[in-house]
Amino acid sequence: MESYVKEALEIVKAQASVRNMSEEEITSMVHKLSQGIRSISEGTRVKAAAPRTSQDPMEAIKENSILCLESGKAYKILTKRHLAQFGLTPDEYRAKWGYKKGQPLVCKSLQRERRKKMKDMKLWEKRMKPVRE
C-alpha cells in the first residue's frame, strides 16, 4: 500500500472516530486525501473537484433530506445562512438550480409536518372573525 493512502487512512480514521461517517464518505475522503497528499509531495496542484451536480434538482428533495446542490451535502433544510456561504440567497439558489419561485427548500417530511401544523392552527379562521367594539 502506498504511503499516501496510509497517511490518508490515518486522517480519515481520526475523523471517523469523532463523527459518524457513511461508507461512501469514508471512501471519498480517503481518495481525495491520498490524491492531495500525493500532489503536495510531488509539488503539483490538484483542482478541487466540483460537487456532483449532474442530478436533477427535483430529485435532490427527498423524504428525509434535501441535497444542497452547491456543497453536495444532505440536510433537512437549506437555510439562508448555509446558502450565504456560497454567496446566494434562497431566491437566487432557486433560480440558479431551476426550482419554482415558491419551492420550499426543506425535505418532504418536514414540509408535510409544517403543512399539518398550519392546518391544525386554522389561522385563516381567526383572521376572519369580526372585531368587537
- The string of pLDDT tens digits covering residues 69-91 is 998 889 999 999 999 999 999 99
Of 3.90.650.10, 1.10.10.1550, 3.40.50.620, 1.10.8.100, the CATH number of 57-123 is 1.10.10.1550
- The string of pLDDT tens digits covering residues 39-60 is 887 776 544 444 555 567 888 9
Global pTM exceeds 0.85: no
Q: Which pLDDT value is given to residue 55?
A: 64
In the DSSP assignment, the letter for residue 104 is: -
Q: Return the SS3 of 78.
A: coil
Domain with CATH 1.10.10.1550 in the chain: 57-123
Mean pLDDT, the chain, as a whole number? 83
pLDDT above 70 (res 12): yes
Phi, psi values for residue 33, rounded to 5°? -65, -45
